[in-house]
């Protein structure tokens, strides 16, 4: 009896809260076009960005489960591999790796009626895969929360205020009227991406809506504690030693409220670097009192570049900084980029730019 009435209260209270009050969602014209497209079975390719993170893998998997469960033929094609700590996610064993399963991946893209690109907004973010996507005949759908989207997608759901692409997939499924089709597997995938992109619900983009979504996902079977454990409690001794090396390398420039870390390929090799091992290292800079801008430069000898992660607190836009100076972009407080120069030149360029931003960084 009690459970029944609680269930009724949940259905009565939650649904209007989730649907009517809080989400801008996809614009109606685009939503209707998507509904029409999905009204008959389609062949769909789902694409995350290169070096996919928890949000990219979580959102593509949640959408994949949804589309397969609603009668479509869907495949996820990732531009390259992703960290082991994401490989427990339900459905992850079916993700194609474009670098390793090249002909199967190409066939999926070329044969697709619809291509959904998730957690990125310009085709340069998929590396080697951009050429084949540019020539694909499918209708493109974009679901993404980064700034300054380009216009390759006919159907766009772009919202820079959203915590994560996973939160957007949740909203989209609600908008499609299928909130009751969210399975525990989907709930776990969506929860994971929201958790990783919000730094466990602490970054500024975490809203009360985000928490409402998380609450509903828990009701639908997401196992928060277990997910946290699987993502964050999988350190190897060598990863902790690599972190020690990164922290030793940290340079603090108090004058500019900035801290940066460098990691050479030799250092990565010394500590048996595995994909994903440097995830989160950049954030340590921001834990220093007074630091507003944190950066990590990580060598990738194979690609001949330094991959850079930028983080900030407050108004200083690392999206603008990365876009303008390091061929990158992202969000106001988290962005990425790269440098083709050697470390010395890269750091010289970086430090020479800081005086231009001194006022912003000190305010
Ligand atoms: P991370 O530093 O963790 O790789 O990325 C931080 C944020 O910036 C993420 O949202 C990521 O998708 C985005 N990002 C990372 N690298 C790039 C890049 O090279 N270009 C653009 N436009 N965004 C990036
Ligand atoms: Mn994201």
- Please give the chain's pLDDT, 363 residues, in tens: 333 344 444 443 445 445 444 578 999 999 999 999 999 999 999 999 999 999 999 999 999 999 999 999 999 999 999 999 999 999 999 999 999 999 999 999 999 999 999 999 999 999 999 999 999 999 999 999 999 999 999 999 999 999 999 999 999 999 999 999 999 999 999 999 999 999 999 999 999 999 999 999 999 999 999 999 999 999 999 999 999 999 999 999 999 999 999 999 999 999 999 999 999 999 999 999 999 999 999 999 999 999 999 999 999 999 999 999 999 999 999 999 999 999 999 999 999 999 999 999 998
Ligand 1 nearest-atom number relative to CA 308:
2
Pocket of ligand 1 (CB under 6 A): 49, 125, 146, 309, 328-331, 334-338
Ligand 1: which of 330, 331, 332 to mutate, most ligand atoms within 8 Å of CB?
A: 330
Question: Taking CA 43 as the corner, what is the angle to CA 37 and CA 45, rounded to the nearest 5 degrees?
Answer: 100
Q: What is the CA radius of gyration of the chain?
A: 21
CATH architecture of the domain formed by 6-231:
Alpha-Beta Complex (3.90)
Ligand 1: which of 336, 337, 339, 340 to mutate, most ligand atoms within 8 Å of CB?
A: 336
Would you say domain 237-362 falls under CATH 3.10.310.30? yes
Q: Which ligand is nearest to the CA of 165?
A: 2
- The dihedral sign for the CA sequence 315, 52, 145, 219: negative
Residue ranges of the chain that CATH labels 3.90.1640.10:
6-231
Give pLDDT, residue 6. Answer: 40
Give pLDDT, residue 24. Answer: 84
Which residue has the least CA distance to atom 10 on ligand 1? Answer: 330
Could you tell me the distance, in angstroms and rounded to a whole number, from the CA of residue 139 to the centre of ligand 1? Answer: 25
Ligand 1 nearest-atom number relative to CA 49:
12
Q: Which ligand is nearest to the CA of 121?
A: 1
CA distance linking residue 32 with residue 128, whole number of Å: 33
Residue ranges of the chain that CATH labels 3.10.310.30:
237-362
């Amino acid at each position: 009896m009690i459970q029944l009435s609680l269930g009724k209260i949940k259905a009565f209270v939650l649904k209007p809260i989730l649907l009517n009050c809080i989400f801008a969602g996809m614009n109606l014209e685009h939503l209707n076009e998507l509904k029409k497209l999905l009204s008959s079975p389609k062949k769909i390719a789902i694409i995350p960005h290169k070096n996919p993170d928890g949000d990219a893998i979580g959102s593509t998997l949640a959408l994949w489960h949804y589309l397969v469960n609603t009668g479509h033929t869907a495949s996820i094609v990732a531009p390259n591999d992703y960290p082991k700590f994401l490989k427990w996610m339900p459905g992850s064993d079916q993700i194609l790796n474009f670098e390793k399963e090249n002909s199967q991946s190409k066939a999926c893209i070329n044969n697709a009626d619809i291509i959904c690109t998730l957690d990125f907004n310009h085709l340069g973010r998929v590396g080697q895969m951009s050429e084949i996507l540019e020539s694909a005949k499918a209708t493109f759908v974009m679901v993404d929360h980064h700034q300054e989207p380009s216009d390759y997608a006919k159907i766009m759901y772009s919202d820079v205020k959203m915590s994560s692409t996973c939160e957007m997939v949740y909203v989209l499924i609600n908008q499609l009227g299928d909130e009751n089709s969210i399975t525990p597997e989907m709930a776990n995938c969506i929860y994971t991406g929201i958790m990783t992109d919000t730094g466990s619900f602490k970054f500024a983009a975490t809203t009360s809506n985000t928490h409402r979504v998380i609450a509903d996902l828990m009701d639908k079977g997401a196992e928060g504690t277990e997910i946290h454990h699987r993502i964050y409690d999988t350190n190897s001794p060598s990863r902790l030693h690599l972190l020690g090396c990164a922290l030793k390398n940290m340079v603090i420039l108090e004058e500019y409220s900035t801290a940066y870390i460098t990691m050479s390929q030799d250092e990565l090799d010394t500590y048996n670097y595995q994909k994903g091992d440097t995830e989160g290292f950049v954030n340590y800079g921001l834990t220093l009192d007074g630091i507003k801008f944190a950066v990590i430069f990580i060598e990738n000898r194979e690609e001949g570049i330094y991959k850079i992660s930028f983080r900030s607190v407050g108004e200083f836009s690392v999206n603008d900084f990365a876009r303008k100076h390091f061929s990158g972009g992202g969000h106001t407080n988290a962005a990425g980029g790269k440098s083709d120069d050697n470390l010395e030149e890269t750091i010289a360029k970086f430090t020479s730019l800081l005086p231009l931003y001194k006022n912003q960084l000190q305010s």
